Structure 1
Amino acid sequence: MTSVPDDRFELPENFGPGSVWADRTGERTLVGRTQRGVEIPIGHGEGEVSPGELLKLALIGCAGMSTDVNLSRRLGEDFAMRLWAHGTSDEKQNRYLAIAEEVQLPLEGLTEQEVAAVVKVFGRAVAAGCTVERTVVPGAEVTHRVLGVEDPDTPEADQA
C-alpha cells in the first residue's frame, strides 16, 4: 500500500522515494508517516515514541539489518538477535553525547575463535552497511527550510 500525504499542503519539490513526513496532531505530538503506509505516533505521551527513541531505534534497526545476512551464515538462518540502544540526552547541551548499542546473540556452543569471528563480522558489517550510523557518527549536515518562503540567502532576496 503506497501512501502520500493528504492535500492540506502541496507536495514539496523534493518529495520522492524515501521521503517521510509528520503531521501535527496536538501540542508537541505528531504522527510520522512513510510512503509504505506506516504510521508512528511521536511525542512523550502513552503510546508515543519520542524523537530520541526514534533516533536510537533507527541506529539499532540499521545495525540489525546491516548484519543480518552475514550473521545468518555463522549462526543459522533463524538465529535470534536483540539489539539495545542506551543514551540519555544532556539537558544543558540539548543533545545526546553518546549512544551505546548492545547486541544479544546465541553464542552458546561456539568456540572462542567463532565468537571472535561473529564479533568481527558484526562490527565490519555495521561499519560498511549501516547508513544511519555512517550519517550520525561523522555528523550529517541538516538543513531547515520553510516551504513557500523565499530563502533570504538567495540573490533574488538580496535585491528586494
Structure 2
Amino acid sequence: MAEPTVAPATGTTASTTVEPTTLWVERTGTRAYTGRSSRGAEVLIGSQGVPGVFTPGELLKIALAACSGLSADFPLSRKLGDNFDATIHVAGDADRENEVYPQLDEVFELDLSELDEAARERLLVTVQRAIDKVCTVGRTLKAGTKVTLAFDVDS
C-alpha cells in the first residue's frame, strides 16, 4: 500500500510525510530470526515445523493476504459498515526444485447476505479494483521486482 501521510492540523497549510519504517531481522538462534521494525513490531521467523514462528514463505503469503484486506477495507466498510468481518485465506505450494511459489491463491470470505445480487456484484467488482490498484504486495508479486544484496562485514 502507498506510504501513509499525516493530514495537516487545522489551520496549517502543509502535510507531513510519515518517516519510512526501517526493517531488519536479527539471528536469535539456530535457523531462528526475529523480524523487527522501527515502529516496535516484531515477528518470529524460523524453519517449518518450529512452533510459534512463521517461515519466510508464510510471511510472504500473509503479507499478500493482509495487503488485499487493507486495500479492500475502505470500499467494504463504506458498504457494510465499520464492523464487518472478513477473513482472507492464502495458500500456495512451493516448487522446491526451483525454490519459487509458482502460484498463490487467495480466498476472501465475506458475509454479503444483506445485499441483493446486483449490489453484491458491484461491491465485489469495486473490491477487486481496489486490490488491483493499491495492493503493493500483490502488484509487486505480479510484476516481479529487482532484489539486491550487499554485505556489510567486519574485517
Does residue 109 of structure 1 match 2:109? no
What are the Cα deviations for residues 76-132 of structure 1, in whole angstroms up to 9, with x where unaligned? 221111111011101111110000011011111321111111210111000111111
Equivalence map 1:5-44=2 (5 Å): 17-44=20-47
Q: Distance in 1 between matches of 2:75 and 2:127?
A: 8
Are the aligned partners of 2:90 and 2:104 in contact in 1 as well (CA < 8 Å)? yes
Note the residue ranges of structure 1 that are not aligned, 5 or more in a row.
1-15, 150-160
Match of 1:93 in 2: 98
- Could you tell me which amino acid in structure 2 is paired with residue 20 of structure 1? L
- Could you tell me which amino acid in structure 2 is paired with residue 85 of structure 1? V
The number of aligned residues is 134
Does residue 49 of structure 1 match 2:54? yes
Note the residue ranges of structure 2 that are not aligned, 5 or more in a row.
1-18
Q: Distance in 2 between matches of 1:19 and 1:101?
A: 28
Q: Residue 77 of structure 1 aligns to a residue in which SS?
A: coil
Quick one: percent identity of the two aligned structures? 37
What are the Cα deviations for residues 59-90 of structure 1, in whole angstroms up to 9, with x where unaligned? 01111111101111111221111111011101
Q: Distance in 2 between matches of 1:115 and 1:124?
A: 14
Q: Distance in 1 between matches of 2:82 and 2:33?
A: 38
Match of 2:88 in 1: 83
Offset at residue 29 of structure 1 (A): 0.9
Q: Which runs of 4+ in 1 moved over 6 A?
A: none
Q: TM-score, normalised by structure 1?
A: 0.80
Match of 1:58 in 2: 63
Q: Residue 152 of structure 2 aligns to a residue in which SS?
A: coil
Are the aligned partners of 1:75 and 1:106 in contact in 2 as well (CA < 8 Å)? no
Match of 2:146 in 1: 141
Are the aligned partners of 1:31 and 1:41 in contact in 2 as well (CA < 8 Å)? yes
Q: Which has the larger radius of gyration?
A: 1
Offset at residue 18 of structure 1 (A): 2.1
- Could you tell me which amino acid in structure 2 is paired with residue 111 of structure 1? D
